[in-house]
Amino acid sequence: MTLELALLATPQAVPELRQRLRALDHDVRLCVTELLTNVIDHLGEGTPVTVRVTGTPREGTRVEVTDPDAGALPVLLPATGTAESGRGLALVDALALRWGVDQGPDHKTVWCELPAGGHRPGAPVAENAVRPDGRARTLAR
């Protein structure tokens, strides 16, 4: 299974993307839409993105969202009970087996890998992510 879509990151694109992915697991759809929403919130409405959803060697799913801003890295923030935003990456972190960022000279790809059939208990691992204190969190692949 491989799906690749080029689109503009707009609020209207979120439910349309969710509809196109309706045959996939709920957690996959949630992670895709959270990563797309992060582009809208942090880079602006109308940013061109490429969304890829592929199978992984262990029968899971890999989600990738590529945008043209190599410098704007995602930051995993602690979400408080009263915060109205800031939970998207925390959701991805909780659902994914691992996630991270691949940077190119003129783009970045934020990705996550989810297990087949839903979330398995264990410690999610973020690669090449930035902690709230500004330090990078990088683990070997």
Cβ neighbours for 42, distance < 8 A, ≥ 6 positions apart: 72, 74
Residues of the chain falling short of pLDDT 50: 120-141
Query: How distant is the alpha carbon of residue 119 from its chain centre?
Result: 15
CATH topology of domain 2-137: Heat Shock Protein 90 (3.30.565)
Query: How distant is the alpha carbon of residue 127 from its chain centre?
Result: 12
pLDDT of 10: 97
CA angle (7, 46, 78) in 5-degree steps = 95
For residues 97 and 78, the answer to whether their CB atoms sit within 8 Å is no
**The residue to which tokens 């208990």 are assigned:** 121
How is the chain split into domains, by residue range? 2-137
For residues 31 and 38, the answer to whether their CB atoms sit within 8 Å is no
pLDDT of 118: 62
pTM of structure: 0.81
